[in-house]
A and B are shown apart, each in its own frame.
Chain A
Amino acid sequence: MNNNKLIIAAAGSGKTTYLVKKASEIDSGTVLITTYTEANEAEIRKKIINRKGFIPSNITIQTWFSFLLQHGVRPYQSLLSDDVHDENIGFLLTSRKSGQKTDKKGKPVRYNDRPIYWGAGDFKKYYFTKSMKIYSDKISKFVFESNKASKNLVIDRITRIFDYIFIDEIQDLAGFDLEMIKLFFMSSSVTMLVGDPRQVTYLTHHTTKFKKYSDGKIKDFVLNELGKKIDCEIDETTLSPSHRNNQAICNYSAKLYPALTTPKPCTCNKCREIITNHEGVFIIQPSDAGKYLSKYNPMQLRWSTSTKCSTEYQAMNFGESKGLSFPRILIYPTEEMKKWIKDDNHKLKNGTRAKLYVAITRARNSTTIIMDFDNDDIFEGAEKYFFKI
């Protein structure tokens, strides 16, 4: 029996919508829908409520970390060390490698001017902060190890709670998260993973474990690491047309990932209902920003809150915007991104490439990039936009 499925599809193809639809159709059986970011968790929640009017009692929606803490860590938290049996384990999100060694005064210990870290032998210091918060970069390792120590009690419990385990934005998962996926695949729960290898804007954590699969290579992980006993169907066709982007946007975004197939826009009437007189990909001069914003009211997308943009109009970071749709967007590219926009042979870092991809593919009607350009600059796939004088 094939219980497991990996669905790979491009931006705007309705991955989350598909997942929500599948979950809503399940009447008997309990469903877990989990995803890495809180923004996407909220989006899933919203989509279910739109569809059903409420969240059915058989569906649980929670972020990956919250799920790991509640169902992975706490039920058998003391199997790795009896010391933590009565602790109320909390959670700390960290973007750096955690558990740096400190001396008695609390100062970081360095060796040859490099920081050194607690090893797994120093159990408490390795996994937890002083106030017993588990580090986000080690939580899935903790769960994996304690499941092993418990002879699979942790996974067995999860499996009996959730008949279906759906994970959205699977490309965000890394390291020991992938071991967890493997365990879900082996369990009797029906496991469905949905993701886009292009959109690796975040990773749950950075680790050497399974590093080669961290860059959107989830498909390779499934192909290489499962062994003969575990089966997982890979589906790259069910969700192929983009329900969000028009042809111009599809084509332009595809230039970022030439190795992958170019998605086509969905041609159904519902998707192409609203056609405006400003459709496609555009580049505007920064001096036109004010006029452009007032005429089209696009969502401004930026690298971070420190990126300068208009405070009179709504704005959002690239990473945050993942999973969301807007009629129009205005992108404030970074210097690196500008180089690629001018010359698509320019090599971008994976994270930057993913963020630019996410940004470009947010719009239904128009994706506009704001940057200086000369009259003789040529932007392949994009149109220079001027206000008529």
Chain B
Amino acid sequence: MNIKKINIENYKCFYGKFSLDLNNGINILVGNNEAGKSTILEAVNLALSGILNGRYLRNELSQYLFSHRAVCEYIDGLSKGTNPAPPYILIEVFFEGDDYPRFEGNGNSERTKECGVIFKIDFDPDFQNEYEALISGGEEITTIPVEYYRVNWKSCARETVTARSIPIKSVFIDSTVNRYKNGSDVYISRIIRNDLKDSEKVELSQAYRKMKESFMGAESVQAINEKIKNKSKITTKNLQISVDLSTQNSWETILMTYLDEIPFHQIGKGEQCIIKTNLALGNQKSQKANLILLEEPENHLTHTKLNELMKSITESCADKQVIISTHSNFVANKLGLEHLILLNNQNVTKLADLSKETFNFFKKLPGYQTLRLLLCRKAVLVEGDSDELIFQKAYMAQNNGRLPIEDAIDVISVKLTFKRFLEIAEMISQPVAVITDNDGNYEIKITQKYKNYADVSCIKICADDRNELNTLEPQFVDANRSDLTTLRDAIELNYDKYDTEEKITEYMLKKENKTTWALKVFESSKSVKYPKYINDAVKWCNV
């Protein structure tokens, strides 16, 4: 069974309602650092297990779980006396199909028949009196009163649920460390526990109990206890040492997982990640569906290991659902563009929604330029290498020598395929500037060609309308015509031989010089001038 949809409201970076439809099989979440990829994984895991950062959330509520904006609105409202309702966090996870009627009902924010679980952190009306006293007390309130909050964990049938009763077991494989106090990893224990049959669990806890008992029965322990008993004059009661019998069963908090006799947490992070994933993928219990949440697997893995991991995921994901967050083009490339889900300011775009033509075009692209477009703050599309070099240099000139990429502005050389990129950019409102030649016909090559994007606010077309200056080279010479000396110095030309603008342009246009001149400008310390349309693009970047 799969998850078909997630709703998140006011949890961490998600202000207001955020919805995400999921594919069966693999889902790849990409987006900027602040886009909320990890928060989605975390929220899904929380709603299915009640666990956040390796601990049960129920007793660890804090205001930092809430959307900052929602908190501010609430506090503002209080100070202005508009009586705002205390904000709540809502995470809804809907399952596909009819297999779990107990979880069906209209008890969800969509008010229609759904099957799933609702994890809500909200104000507990039992504390109404205390709350009223608090807000009418006259003292300034600077936080959400989380001490009056509760966790409300229900099915769509409005029935209280527990981690045990939820049919989908999630496995969260993240980069942070979550261990029990003995060092054993919380998640690996959970993976193993979920894979055990009830009878096996009973056997394990029985064996553990026997071990405790035999420890107590050992002669040496008894001798020691006898000794303690005789020595202890402090109390009349019987003093002895014993293993902790008070904890119920929780063998998983006591037992350690070993790999080749090395404790699990002592092995490399990358290896840990692979083992957890493979264990989760290999879980046998067919009736309990598994959801694997994998956070940025590229963080700890070498290319080879990553490759191995991707391979096992693609091979066994047929009956498991996987949600992966990633920054790596490689991961996305390996797992398939059609599974990509782009996150951008709480907007969701699936690449599968692109026109088929564009989709296929990107599928063929090597190195996955697409991801570069999606993952940067702003993208600048250029035709070729010289344009790329000149734009970068122009950018550096105005930004204290910083490369655009240092400001998360990615310059992508796309040859003649601007429009394909623009289609995606428009879809996800990604800011993109295009630097292009007019090719001697501004009307047709620019105005007509890009007329569909004229009103798209995230797209900026930078080109010069003087048809006689048809490409970068004449444009560049034109920009520097008042100071040809500096230009010649920068591109290392003989003053006498290249004494006119025409001659310089002719030199630059020669096939063998086409990239070299731009490279020379890029490496030169001379401050040359840049064509207006290039400077326009820099200005757009700096807005």
Q: Judge whether A75 and B105 touch: CB under 8 Å.
A: yes
Q: Judge whether A153 and B113 touch: CB under 8 Å.
A: yes
In the bound complex, residues from chain B placing their C-beta under 8 Å from that of A76 are 105-106, 113
Q: Judge whether B107 and A70 touch: CB under 8 Å.
A: no
Indicate if B34 sits at the interface (CB-CB under 8 A). no
Indicate if B98 sits at the interface (CB-CB under 8 A). yes
Indicate if A377 sits at the interface (CB-CB under 8 A). no
Q: Judge whether A74 and B107 touch: CB under 8 Å.
A: yes
> Known contacts being A79-B106, A157-B104, A161-B101, is A74 close to B158, with CB within 8 Å?
yes
A187 to chain B, nearest CB (A): 12
Indicate if A374 sits at the interface (CB-CB under 8 A). no
In the complex, how many residues of chain B place their beta carbon closer than 8 angstroms to a beta carbon of chain A?
13
In the bound complex, residues from chain B placing their C-beta under 8 Å from that of A160 are 98, 101
Q: Judge whether B102 and A77 touch: CB under 8 Å.
A: no
Indicate if A51 sits at the interface (CB-CB under 8 A). no
In the bound complex, residues from chain A placing their C-beta under 8 Å from that of B101 are 157-158, 160-161
Q: Judge whether B98 and A75 touch: CB under 8 Å.
A: no
Indicate if B181 sits at the interface (CB-CB under 8 A). no
A23 to chain B, nearest CB (A): 19
Indicate if B156 sits at the interface (CB-CB under 8 A). yes
CA distance A308 to B161 in the complex (A): 47
CA distance A78 to B156 in the complex (A): 12
A257 to chain B, nearest CB (A): 42
Residue of B nearest to A82 (CB): B111
When each residue 155-188 of chain A gets 1 if its CB lies under 8 Å from chain B and 0 otherwise, what string results? 0011011000000000000000000000000000
B452 to chain A, nearest CB (A): 43
> Known contacts being A70-B159, A157-B157, is A75 close to B111, with CB within 8 Å?
no
When each residue 59-73 of chain A gets 1 if its CB lies under 8 Å from chain B and 0 otherwise, what string results? 000000000001100
Indicate if A85 sits at the interface (CB-CB under 8 A). yes
Report which of B98, B111, B113, B157 forms a contact with A74, defined as CB distance below 8 A.
Answer: B157
When each residue 66-101 of chain A gets 1 if its CB lies under 8 Å from chain B and 0 otherwise, what string results? 000011001111110010010011000000000000
CA distance A71 to B156 in the complex (A): 11
When each residue 148-162 of chain B gets 1 if its CB lies under 8 Å from chain A and 0 otherwise, what string results? 000000001111000
> Known contacts being A157-B101, A160-B98, is A78 close to B159, with CB within 8 Å?
no
CA distance A79 to B105 in the complex (A): 10
Number of A-B contacts (CB under 8 A): 42
Residue of A nearest to B113 (CB): A153
B158 to chain A, nearest CB (A): 4
In the bound complex, residues from chain B placing their C-beta under 8 Å from that of A78 are 106, 111
When each residue 138-150 of chain A gets 1 if its CB lies under 8 Å from chain B and 0 otherwise, what string results? 0000000000001
Instruction: Give B83-123 interface residues, CB cut-off 8 Å to A.
Output: 98, 101-102, 104-107, 111, 113
A88 to chain B, nearest CB (A): 8
CA distance A85 to B104 in the complex (A): 15
Q: Judge whether A77 and B98 touch: CB under 8 Å.
A: no
Q: Judge whether B158 and A77 touch: CB under 8 Å.
A: yes
In the bound complex, residues from chain A placing their C-beta under 8 Å from that of B157 are 70-71, 74-75, 157
> Known contacts being A82-B111, A85-B111, A153-B113, is A74 close to B102, with CB within 8 Å?
no
In the bound complex, residues from chain B placing their C-beta under 8 Å from that of A85 are 106-107, 111
Instruction: Give B53-104 interface residues, CB cut-off 8 Å to A.
Output: 98, 101-102, 104
In the bound complex, residues from chain A placing their C-beta under 8 Å from that of B106 are 75-79, 85
B405 to chain A, nearest CB (A): 49
In the bound complex, residues from chain B placing their C-beta under 8 Å from that of A70 are 157, 159
Report which of B102, B111, B113, B158 forms a contact with A161, defined as CB distance below 8 A.
Answer: B102
Residue of A nearest to B198 (CB): A57
A245 to chain B, nearest CB (A): 42
Residue of A nearest to B98 (CB): A160
- Which interface residue of B106, B107, B156 has the most chain A CB atoms within 10 A? B106
B111 to chain A, nearest CB (A): 6
Report which of A74, A79, A153 forms a contact with B159, defined as CB distance below 8 A.
Answer: A74
A258 to chain B, nearest CB (A): 47
Residue of A nearest to B104 (CB): A157
Residue of B nearest to A156 (CB): B101
A259 to chain B, nearest CB (A): 43
B268 to chain A, nearest CB (A): 42
CA distance A89 to B113 in the complex (A): 18
Instruction: Give B227-249 interface residues, CB cut-off 8 Å to A.
Output: none
- Leading 9 A-B pairs by shortest Cβ distance: A75-B105, A75-B157, A160-B101, A74-B158, A157-B101, A161-B101, A76-B106, A157-B104, A161-B102
Extra A-B contacts (6), CB below 8 Å, given A70-B159, A77-B158, A82-B111: A74-B105, A75-B106, A76-B106, A78-B106, A85-B107, A161-B102
A-B contact pairs, 10 of them (CB 8 A): A70-B157, A71-B157, A74-B105, A75-B106, A75-B157, A85-B107, A157-B105, A160-B101, A161-B101, A161-B102
